[in-house]
Amino acid sequence: MTEHVPALQLTSPTVLVTLTGPDHSGVSTRLFEVLSSVDVEVVDVEQLVVRGRLVLSVLATEPEDLDPLATAVRQAAAELGLDVEIERGAGDNRPRRVGRSQVTVLGHPLRPAAMAALTARIKAADGNIDRILRLARYPVTALRLEVSGADPDVLQSDLAQAAFEHGIDVAVEERGILRHAQRLVVMDVDSTLIQGEVIEMLAEHAGCAQEVASVTEAAMRGELDFEQSLRQRVARLQGVPVAALDEVYENLVYTPGARTMIRTLKRLGFRFALVSGGFTHIIERIARDFGIDYHAANELEIVDGRLTGEVVGPVVDRAGKAEALRRFAAAARIGIKNTIAVGDGANDLDMLAAAGLGIAFNAKPAVRGQARTSVNSPYLDSIVYFLGITREEIEAADADD
């Protein structure tokens, strides 16, 4: 029969021992050896090393006689060349306040003024920063702040304004068990997964690249109805040989970090989908090359080896992209809250709004202003930092392969 040990009471006396100074091997071992000489329980431990400087804190139950322990800890600290603080108190680390959020900050560069603005707004929202961790130093600086006490929706709104003012990117996600679950990543293709627009590349073969590009720009800014603009542009491709689609595919340039992002998240069991206002002839091949699970795009009509200038079937427009996200999430049995959508144009807005985490990637100003989260660095793998993955973990996994 297992002996029942009463749980530590929140009001039980505790002692906090903090060591600071140059980091070297054996510090934590020595401290725990000292603590083991008396009858105490370890309640909490936190350790941080920044450029070789150590901060190690151990919260333990207070022994009946603190003086011998304090003397032994001070002696060990002196032998290790460290400073020590010993603080008596009452109680365990109480549970964090409601409204727990993970705030991810990306800067390229990240300036002190930006951090001052963010932390001030967290405080104004009645939030407390419980922990800060660096996720990456390059190609962007990425930090994760664990915040309690503030409403995540309020934080998202307040921090987005500060981020815009200081030219950085911020994402706020509510911390809960769902953040550990499998996710579905749904991505736009043109100007997101790849650089440039496929329809403009095809237009070069038809000799109308400039005209098509101007219509594309207006559509991405939300100035034109997407379906109307698509049919208008496709009509100009009449007579282009189907071989042009193959040539465009062979010359695609992927956004920096695209392969790293997909490779990293697929290792963790994430599912991927491509939802594009582009064309199936291209999207199907990209999906096959990257091992993408789902895809949806528009079908170009081809007769006698040439484009007719028509689209076959329903157009994947703004509403169609959001519907595809929901359809693919259902097929993967992944809740909507655990979906991530990434896009750059006005036709991506419904999809970004529907996803649990919608990210405007190097988006037009009108899109960036409506999206909850944006990334304005040129690296697509910056998105993994929003999921708490560090650059060191990515590189270690690549090295293992």
Mind telling me the catalytic residues? 188, 190
Tell me 286's DSSP state. Answer: H
Residue type, 112: P
For residues 369, 374, 379 and 380, what is the CA-based torsion angle, rounded to 10 degrees?
Answer: -120
DSSP assignment of 163-216, as one string? HHHHT-EEEEEE-SGGGGS--EEEE-TBTTTBSS-HHHHHHHHHT-HHHHHHHH
For residues 360 and 365, give the distance between their C-alpha atoms in angstroms, rounded to a whole number: 10
DSSP assignment of 323-387, as one string? HHHHHHHHHHT--GGGEEEEE-SGGGHHHHHHSSEEEEES--HHHHHHSSEEE-SS-GGGGGGGG
- Residue 392 has a CB neighbour count (10 Å cut-off) of 12
For residues 10 and 74, give the distance between their C-alpha atoms in angstroms, rounded to a whole number: 27
Nearest to 170 by CA among 125, 192, 140: 140
The crossing angle, in degrees rounded to 10, of helices 226-235 and 209-220 is 170
C-alpha 140 chain-centroid distance: 13
For residues 360 and 91, give the distance between their C-alpha atoms in angstroms, rounded to a whole number: 44
Query: In 207-242, which ranges are continuous DSSP H helix?
Result: 209-220, 226-235
H or E element, residue 388: none
Q: Rg for the chain (alpha carbons), in Å?
A: 27
Name the burial class of residue 65, with classes exposed (0-12), middle (13-18) and buried (19+) by CB atoms within 10 angstroms of its CB: exposed
The two structure tokens encoding residue 344: 């750059």
Task: Report yes or no: 12 and 45 within 8 Å, Cβ to Cβ.
Answer: no
For residues 346 and 151, give the distance between their C-alpha atoms in angstroms, rounded to a whole number: 28
